[in-house]
């Protein structure tokens, strides 16, 4: 066994001390009426190792250090450390290193260091805890319980703080989109479709709409609902309108795909079928079924209801109308 009695006894005393401070803090911070959450006592990091300082690490890891030197962490930790945690440099993320030095190679000694690569075997929760020491809250307010956290992603699945690969954000790939596409291949295909949000063109990136660190929605949206998200940029669609079109208020995605589509204007379905998914029962022209003969060729069969913008040749204000006579969205 690695931990003889004296050290575990010390652990219990330390843990008890930590617990009473934690309880005091939670009690002080607790809002009236909310029960304080008991803090779990953490096991000593890296088997209770001591900090050795970055000079020792660099002696063996010179190549890694060369890359690391160009990163924001290296600059801050070395030139302008704000606190004790930042001063320990390499060990701020990898934890205290003295036990790693005793045997850096044997897999049985991997628990002597926090590693962020798959082969090293450090549990993901422990990896993220290292980063969250300094990066809790803010954008990561909803990390715990988010889709990515519950699927066991580690910060290092998207970030590589050991080298400056991206212009900003210390990402694993040169751009945000490429970072996401490593796992989300379907979305790469969506953004390559004929009509698509200008992501490849560089006008938008995934994080304009999603927060990869977690959000209140399962799909990690940066807004409370799909429509609120779209209104952020397409403000004119928010209205208010004198004549509202019910499905527009309900959900933009009833008619549009948020990423890309092979139909015009990101539409889910081509017109007139798009409209006729809902407008079929009432009789009259909206429930006519059109055939290819009405679309092409000379002669009397051609219908203005399928040519060009189809139903919108007449019902042009499909997102809503402010004209007193706009009940049919024609003006």
Interface with ligand HEC in residues 63-122 (CB under 6 A): 64-65, 68, 72-73, 76, 85-86, 89-94, 97, 100-101, 104-105, 113, 115-117, 120
Reference 45, options 122, 160, 104, 105; nearest CA is 122
Q: How far is the CB of 228 from ligand HEC (least distance, A)?
A: 9
Query: What residues numbered 278-297 form the site for ligand HEC, per CB under 6 A?
Result: 278-279, 282, 284-286
Region near ligand HEC per CB under 6 A, out of 15-23, 29-37, 265-273, 294-302: 265-273
Between residues 15 and 111, which has the closer beta carbon with respect to ligand HEC? 111
Binding flag, residue 141, ligand HEC (CB under 6 A): no
Residues 6+ apart with CB under 8 A from 89: 53, 54, 57, 74, 77, 78
Largest distance between two CA atoms of the chain: 97
Q: Applying CB under 6 A, does 45 fall inside the site for ligand HEC?
A: no
The radius of gyration computed from the CA coordinates of the chain, to the nearest angstrom, equals: 29
- With CB under 6 A, what is the number of residues at the site for ligand HEC? 132
Asked if residues 320 and 329 have their Cβ atoms less than 8 Å apart, the reply is yes
Q: Which residue is nearest to ligand HEC (CB)?
A: 97
> Token pair for residue 194?
């004929």
Is residue 129 a contact point for ligand HEC (CB under 6 A)? no
- Is 7 a binding residue for ligand HEC by CB under 6 A? The answer is no
Other beta carbons within 10 Å of 92: 21
Residue 273 touches ligand HEC, criterion: CB under 6 A: no
Cβ proximity to ligand HEC, 23 vs 232, nearer residue: 232
Contact 306, 313 (CB under 8 A): no
Site for ligand HEC (CB under 6 A): which residue of 34, 168, 185, 281? 168
* 215 is an interface residue for ligand HEC by CB under 6 A: no
Nearest to 110 by CA among 49, 192, 199: 49
Q: Give the side-chain half-sphere CA count within 13 A for 271.
A: 21
- Residues 193 to 212 in contact with ligand HEC, rule: CB under 6 A: 195, 197-199, 203-204, 206-210, 212
Considering the rule CB under 6 A, would residue 165 count as an interface residue with ligand HEC?
no
Identify whether the C-beta of residue 252 lies closer than 8 Å to the C-beta of residue 183: no
* Residue among 237, 317, 303 nearest 272 (CA): 303
Binding residue (CB under 6 A) for ligand HEC from 99, 128, 294, 321: 128
């Amino acid at each position: 066994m690695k931990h003889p009695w004296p050290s575990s006894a010390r652990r219990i005393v330390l843990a008890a001390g930590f617990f009473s401070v934690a309880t005091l803090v939670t009690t002080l911070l607790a809002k009236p009426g909310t029960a304080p959450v008991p803090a779990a006592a953490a096991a000593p990091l890296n088997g209770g190792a001591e900090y050795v300082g970055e000079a020792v690490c660099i002696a063996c890891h010179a190549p890694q250090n060369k890359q690391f030197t160009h990163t924001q962490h290296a600059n801050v930790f070395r030139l302008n450390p704000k606190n004790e945690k930042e001063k320990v440099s390499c060990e701020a993320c990898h934890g205290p290193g003295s036990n790693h030095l005793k045997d850096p190679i044997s897999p049985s000694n991997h628990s002597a260091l926090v590693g962020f690569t798959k082969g090293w075997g450090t549990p993901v929760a422990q990896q993220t805890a290292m980063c969250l020491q300094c990066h809790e809250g803010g954008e990561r307010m909803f990390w715990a319980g988010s889709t990515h956290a519950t699927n066991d992603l580690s910060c290092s699945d998207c970030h590589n703080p050991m080298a400056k690969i991206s212009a900003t954000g210390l990402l694993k790939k040169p751009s945000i989109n490429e970072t996401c596409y490593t796992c989300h291949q379907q979305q790469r295909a969506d953004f390559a479709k004929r009509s698509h949000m200008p992501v490849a063109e560089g006008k938008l990136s995934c994080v304009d709409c999603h927060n990869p660190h977690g959000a209140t929605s399962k799909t990690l949206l940066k807004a409370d609902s799909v429509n609120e998200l779209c209104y952020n940029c397409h403000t004119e669609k928010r209205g208010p309108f004198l004549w509202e079109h019910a499905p527009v208020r309900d959900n933009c995605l009833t008619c549009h795909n948020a990423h890309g589509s092979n139909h015009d204007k990101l539409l889910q379905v081509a017109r007139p079928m798009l409209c006729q998914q809902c407008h079929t029962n009432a009789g009259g022209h909206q429930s006519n079924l059109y055939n290819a003969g009405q679309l092409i060729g000379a002669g009397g069969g051609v219908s203005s209801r399928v040519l060009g913008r189809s139903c919108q040749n007449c019902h042009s204000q499909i997102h809503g109308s402010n004209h007193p006579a706009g009940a049919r969205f024609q003006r």
